[in-house]
C-alpha cells in the first residue's frame, strides 16, 4: 500500500509519539478494560469530546503553563524542584529551559490528561495519587523569603484554574467542532473531578467562575523571569508564532500584565486561521489516539454507572520521601 504524503507524515508522527511518549509515560495505564467501567467521565461526556483532539489538548497545556508562571511562587517551585530547567554541576537551577526536562514534563502531562479522561477508574486513581505524592514533596522558600507549598489550597486553586482555562480555551478556538456556551460549561463542571482528585477545594465550575477566579489572583501575580524569557520580540519565527497563539488565549488583564496587545480584528482572525490550520492538519494526519478508541470499545455494551467519582479525601495519602515518589512516578 502506497501512503499519500499526509498519511506518510501522520505515520511518522505517530511512530515518534509511540517511541517518545507512549512507551515512556503510558506504562501501566489501562484503557481497554475492565469492560463496562466508564472511568471518571464516560461516553457522551464533554471531557471525552474535548480531550479526543490531542493536538489542541497539547496546545492548551502550553497555554496553561505560560499563565501558571505568572505566579512567582510557581516559578520558584519550578526552579527549585522541576526537571524543566537546566542545572549546574552543583545542582543549582539556571533560568534556562532544559529540552530533555521539558520533554519529560510534557510526556507526563499528556499521559495524565489522557489517562484521567479515558483510562479505567483504577488508572485515573493511580495517576492522581502519584501527582499528589509529588506535590506533597514540593515545599520551600523563595529568594524573597516567602514560603511556598504545593499542597496550599490557594496554590491548588490557581493551578487548577489555569489548567482548565487553558484546555477549554484552546478547545473553543481550535477544535473543528467546539463546545460553546452551556456545553463548554459542562466541560468545566465535569473536569472539576480532576481538581478534586488532586486535593483542590472551592474550585470554579463554569467558564465565568474560572475567569473570576483567575482575576482574583492578580494582586499576587507578576511578570516572572520565566514568563519574560518565553515572550518578547526577539524569539525565533516558529517560537514567536506559537508564543503569540498562547498569549492570544489569555484574559485581557493577563495580556496587559505581559504587555501583549491584540492586533486588529482582521489580522487576529488571519493569525488564528493559520494556527487552526496547523493544529487540525496535525490532527487529521495523526488521527484519533488509540486510547480513545480503546475506551470507546470498553464501554460499547454499556456501563455499570454513568461515571465514577474520585475517592481521594485530604489526609488519605501515606507519607513518602522524594526518592520514593520519583520511583513511583517513573513507573506510571
Would the pLDDT of 320 be above 90? Answer: no
114-143: per-residue pLDDT in tens? 999 999 999 999 999 999 999 999 999 999
Which of 60, 17, 9, 3 shows the shortest CA–CA distance to 282? Answer: 9
Length of the chain: 332
In Å, how far from its chain's centre is CA 36?
A: 27
Q: What is the reported pLDDT for 157?
A: 98
Q: 3-class DSSP state for residue 96?
A: strand
What is the average per-residue pLDDT within 183-198? 98
Any idea which residue has 516558529 for its cell? 238
Report the run of H or E that residue 148 belongs to, with start and end. Answer: strand 147-149
Q: What is the reported pLDDT for 258?
A: 92
Q: Using an 8 Å Cβ cutoff, are 60 and 140 in contact? A: no
Q: What is the reported pLDDT for 85?
A: 80
Which of 324, 322, 332, 331 shows the shortest CA–CA distance to 81? Answer: 322
Any idea which residue has 497563539 for its cell? 245
What's the pTM? 0.92
Phi then psi dihedrals of residue 112, to 5 deg: -65, -45
Omega of the bond leading into 140 within 30 degrees of 0 (cis) = no
Q: What is the reported pLDDT for 313?
A: 85
Sign of CA dihedral 296, 297, 298, 299: positive
156-180: per-residue pLDDT in tens? 999 999 999 999 999 999 999 999 9
Any idea which residue has 516567602 for its cell? 146
51-95: per-residue pLDDT in tens? 999 999 999 999 999 999 999 999 999 888 888 788 888 777 777
What is the average per-residue pLDDT within 186-192? 98
At 1, is the pLDDT very low, low, confident or very high (cuts 50, 70, 90)? low
How many angstroms separate the CA atoms of 234 and 214, rounded?
28
The single-letter DSSP state of residue 85 is: E
Which of 158, 198, 174, 166 shows the shortest CA–CA distance to 276? Answer: 174
Q: What is the reported pLDDT for 40?
A: 98
Amino acid at each position: 500500500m502506497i501512503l499519500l504524503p499526509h498519511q506518510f507524515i501522520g505515520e511518522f508522527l505517530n511512530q515518534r509519539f509511540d517511541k517518545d511518549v507512549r512507551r515512556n509515560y503510558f506504562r501501566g495505564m489501562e484503557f481497554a478494560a475492565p469492560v463496562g467501567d466508564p472511568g471518571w467521565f464516560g461516553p457522551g461526556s464533554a471531557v471525552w469530546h474535548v480531550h479526543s483532539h490531542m493536538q489542541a489538548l497539547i496546545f492548551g497545556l502550553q497555554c496553561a503553563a505560560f499563565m501558571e508562571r505568572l505566579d512567582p511562587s510557581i516559578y520558584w517551585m519550578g526552579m527549585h524542584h522541576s526537571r524543566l530547567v537546566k542545572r549546574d554541576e552543583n545542582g543549582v537551577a539556571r533560568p534556562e529551559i532544559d529540552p530533555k526536562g521539558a520533554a519529560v514534563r510534557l510526556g507526563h502531562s499528556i499521559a495524565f490528561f489522557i489517562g484521567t479522561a479515558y483510562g479505567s477508574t483504577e488508572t485515573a486513581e493511580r495517576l492522581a495519587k502519584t501527582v499528589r505524592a509529588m506535590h506533597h514533596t514540593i515545599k520551600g522558600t523563595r529568594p524573597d523569603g516567602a514560603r511556598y507549598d504545593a499542597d496550599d489550597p490557594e496554590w491548588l486553586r490557581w493551578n487548577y484554574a489555569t489548567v482548565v482555562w487553558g484546555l477549554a480555551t484552546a478547545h473553543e478556538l481550535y477544535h473543528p467542532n467546539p463546545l460553546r456556551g452551556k456545553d463548554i460549561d459542562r466541560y468545566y463542571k465535569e473536569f472539576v473531578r480532576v481538581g478534586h482528585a488532586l486535593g483542590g477545594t472551592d474550585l470554579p465550575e463554569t467558564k465565568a467562575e474560572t475567569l473570576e477566579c483567575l482575576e482574583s489572583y492578580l494582586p499576587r501575580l507578576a511578570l516572572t523571569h520565566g514568563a519574560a524569557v518565553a515572550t518578547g520580540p526577539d524569539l525565533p519565527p516558529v517560537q514567536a508564532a506559537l508564543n503569540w497563539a498562547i498569549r492570544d488565549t489569555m484574559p485581557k488583564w493577563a495580556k496587559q500584565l505581559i504587555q501583549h496587545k491584540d492586533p486588529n480584528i482582521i489580522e487576529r482572525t488571519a493569525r488564528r486561521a493559520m494556527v487552526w490550520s496547523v493544529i487540525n492538519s496535525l490532527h487529521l494526519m495523526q488521527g484519533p489516539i488509540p486510547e480513545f478508541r480503546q475506551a470507546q470499545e470498553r464501554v460499547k455494551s454499556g456501563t455499570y454507572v454513568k461515571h465514577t467519582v474520585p475517592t481521594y479525601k485530604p489526609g488519605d495519602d501515606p507519607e513518602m520521601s522524594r526518592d520514593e515518589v520519583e520511583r513511583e512516578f517513573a513507573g506510571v
